[in-house]
């Protein structure tokens, strides 16, 4: 988990509660990256959890803000377990998330990354859109040409994925998860998703503001690079990132409407 100064202390406290207090299978350690100087409220939350968890909570402090991509790679240095779960500092993990994902990976030794469904919520509605992702690796190989086959904050990954040399690509400050999924699939690693909801994803207005032009272009580059590695030059799959780029460059009001509508789900079937 990486946290930045703009995060709400109450949201982070709830996120940590969901990955420790609420879990039926508790983690061996929680690796937290403080990405740059934090405010007093966040530091109070972190201090309280550190006092509670002791050595189970490993904290690394970046002197300046480095961004999520570099912070995640830093966090990987501290991991001691064979399984690594990702978590954002404002979301809520389902109480059965770790148990279900660890059980799945134990039963499916050929899968290196497993995600799950995602339930969106906001301050006014606790049950917004539920996003489902491809269940099998075969489905994911097709789906990734259109959209990400995994929701980043839902995933649990085998450490051997990174022991093999893969890392979050630091050329990309955003969409680093999509680049990793392409790299994983291109090198023979397999992914899957649980049908059950694993994460309650906090959706607010800033979600759409973050979808700016530079992020859209970065995402486009990842898709073009990834499709080339997996499909070569002569493929119609390049039409999907072109359509995504056009969508990302639409006015925020249009993006918000499509993002929250059933139209988005229908296009990605």
Residues of the chain short of pLDDT 50, as ranges, are: 267, 269
- Can you tell me the distance from the alpha carbon of 163 to that of 84, in angstroms, rounded to the nearest whole number? 12
Return the C-alpha torsion angle 4, 8, 12, 18, nearest 10: -140
Q: 82, 158 in Cβ contact below 8 A?
A: yes
Return the C-alpha torsion angle 106, 131, 129, 200, nearest 10: 30
Pairing of strands 30-35, 2-3: parallel
160 token code pair: 């051997």
Return the C-alpha torsion angle 19, 99, 85, 12, nearest 10: -10
- Can you tell me the distance from the alpha carbon of 236 to that of 205, in angstroms, rounded to the nearest whole number? 34
Buried b (16+ CB within 10 A) or exposed e, 225-243: bbbeeeeeeeeebbebbee
* DSSP state string for 59-117: EEEESS---HHHHHHHHHTT--SSEEE---TT-EE-TTHHHHHHHHHHH-TT-SEEEEE
Give the pLDDT of residue 267: 47
- Can you tell me the distance from the alpha carbon of 169 to that of 179, in angstroms, rounded to the nearest whole number? 7
- Can you tell me the distance from the alpha carbon of 239 to that of 99, in angstroms, rounded to the nearest whole number? 39
Give the pLDDT of residue 253: 67
Cβ count within 10 A of residue 21: 10
258 token code pair: 């499509």
- Can you tell me the distance from the alpha carbon of 28 to that of 20, in angstroms, rounded to the nearest whole number? 10
User: Could you tell me the residue range of the domain that residue 110 belongs to?
Assistant: 2-267
pLDDT digits (tens, 9 = 90+) for 169-193: 999 999 999 999 999 999 999 999 9
Strand partners, 199: 93, 118
Count: domains in the chain: 1
- The CATH number that applies at residue 129 is 3.90.550.10
Give the pLDDT of residue 255: 61
């Amino acid at each position: 988990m990486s946290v930045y100064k703009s995060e709400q202390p109450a949201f982070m406290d709830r996120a940590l509660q969901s990955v420790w207090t609420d879990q039926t299978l508790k983690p061996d350690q929680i690796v937290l990256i403080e990405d740059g100087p934090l405010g007093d409220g966040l530091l109070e939350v972190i201090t309280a959890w550190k006092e509670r968890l002791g050595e189970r909570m490993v904290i690394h402090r970046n002197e300046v803000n480095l961004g999520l991509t570099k912070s995640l790679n830093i966090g990987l240095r501290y991991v001691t377990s064979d399984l690594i779960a990702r978590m954002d500092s404002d979301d809520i993990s389902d109480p059965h998330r770790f148990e279900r994902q660890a059980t799945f990976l134990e039963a499916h030794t050929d899968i290196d990354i497993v995600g799950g469904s995602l339930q969106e919520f906001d301050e006014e509605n606790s049950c917004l859109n539920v996003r489902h992702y491809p269940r099998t690796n075969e489905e994911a190989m097709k789906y990734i040409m259109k959209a990400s086959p995994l929701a980043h904050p839902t995933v649990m990954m085998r450490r051997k994925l990174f022991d093999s040399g893969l890392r979050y690509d630091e050329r990309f400050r955003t969409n680093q998860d999509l680049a990793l999924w392409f790299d994983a699939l291109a090198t023979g690693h397999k992914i899957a998703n649980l049908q059950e909801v694993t994460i309650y994803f906090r959706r607010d207005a800033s979600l759409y503001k973050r979808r700016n032009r530079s992020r859209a272009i970065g995402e486009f580059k990842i898709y073009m690079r990834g499709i080339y590695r997996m499909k070569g030059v002569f493929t119609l799959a390049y039409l999907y990132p072109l359509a995504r780029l056009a969508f990302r460059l639409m006015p925020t009001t249009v993006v918000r409407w499509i993002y929250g509508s059933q139209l988005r789900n229908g296009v990605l079937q």
